[in-house]
Structure 1
Amino acid sequence: MIRVTEAIALDDSEIVEEFARSSGPGGQNVQKVETAVRLRFDLRGSPNLPEPVKARLARLAGRRLTKEGVILIEARRHRTQERNRADALERLIELIRIAAAAPPPPRKKTKPTLGSKLRRLAGKKQRGETKTMRGRPNRDLRDT
């Protein structure tokens, strides 16, 4: 059993790992050792996840979720198979933890207070007066 949260634990049989040769630099090691890991987790068939968590996890998984309801996680960051396996499993567990967390409470709409409205209008008036003073002087007053 893999402990995800206090209430959620996954059975080892729910996770399937496939190994492949990793791409990229690495010389001979890359061409002869299967270090890349493709982890598969059947989301729809999992008896250990509650339905709300499954729904949130399906949204969070995005492109990693197949049409059959299987989450695919590929790990090829490290040079060894063991570290890639641990990385893939940790990424799956983190995804499930995020989905299992309670959603934040909805935002309550608020209106600005009367004081903040008056301060905003006073500031606008002050800026307008400043800009008015930057203009040309009134010619009618100079001619007299």
Structure 2
Amino acid sequence: MSEKVYERDFNSELEFVTSRSGGPGGQNVNKVNTKVTLRFDLSASQLLDDEEKAKIADKLANKISNDNILIVTSEAGRSQLKNKEEAIRKFYDLLKKAFKVKKKRKATKPSKAAVEKRLKAKQKQSEKKQQRQNKDF
């Protein structure tokens, strides 16, 4: 796997569906199909091997339908072209997210000075409370 998955050209496997966008916009919203839905059939992809497909299916499960299709929508822009470009950008961002390797957490412990400081603060608080108890009213 020398080439990163999200650097491959998936344009031949992407399917676009347009529909009317919601929200404000007046006549433009009522007449023009500006919302773009990008559909990527994970199981039919020729560019991904089975291991990569499984990883995408696992990491992006909430974006994948029961038919094993990855769905990305965009309706932010007022033009269909801008929304199509935005949907493609979101698709590649999702692929990057799916294949990003998480850093392993290194266990650390507090320094001696920090431990000492905490214990001194506890001792000071304890003495303060002891003094309150010793007062006779």
Specify if TM > 0.5: yes
Q: C-alpha deviations, 1:81-137, integer Å up to 9, x for none?
A: 0000011110011111122222212x2444556665454333212210012223452
Q: What SS does the aligned partner of 1:48 have?
A: coil
RMSD: 2.7
- Structure 2 vs 1, CA of residues 11 and 114 (structure 1 numbering), >3 Å: closer, same or farther? closer
The aligned counterpart of 1:21 is 20
Q: What SS does the aligned partner of 1:63 have?
A: helix
- Listed as ranges, the matches of 1:54-73 within 5 Å are 54-73=53-72
Q: Tell me the amino acid that sits aligned with residue 20 of structure 1.
A: S
Structure 2 unaligned spans of 5+: none
Structure number with greater Rg is 1
Matched, 1:30 2:18: no
| Contact 1:41–1:71 (CA under 8 A) maintained in structure 2 | yes
Question: Which gives a bigger RCO, structure 1 or 2 (Cα 8 Å, sep 6+)?
Answer: 2
CA distance in 2, matches of 1:24, 1:114: 58
Q: Tell me the amino acid that sits aligned with residue 13 of structure 1.
A: S
| Contact 1:60–1:95 (CA under 8 A) maintained in structure 2 | no
Q: C-alpha deviations, 1:39-82, integer Å up to 9, x for none?
A: 00122332323555434433443432111211111111111000
Q: Tell me the amino acid that sits aligned with residue 48 of structure 1.
A: L
State, as a whole percentage, how many aligned pairs show the same letter: 32
TM-score (norm 2): 0.78
CA distance in 1, matches of 2:73, 2:92: 14
- Structure 2 vs 1, CA of residues 25 and 111 (structure 1 numbering), >3 Å: closer, same or farther? closer
The aligned counterpart of 2:95 is 96
| Contact 1:39–1:88 (CA under 8 A) maintained in structure 2 | yes
CA distance in 2, matches of 1:56, 1:34: 33
TM-score (norm 1): 0.75
Equivalenced residues, count: 134
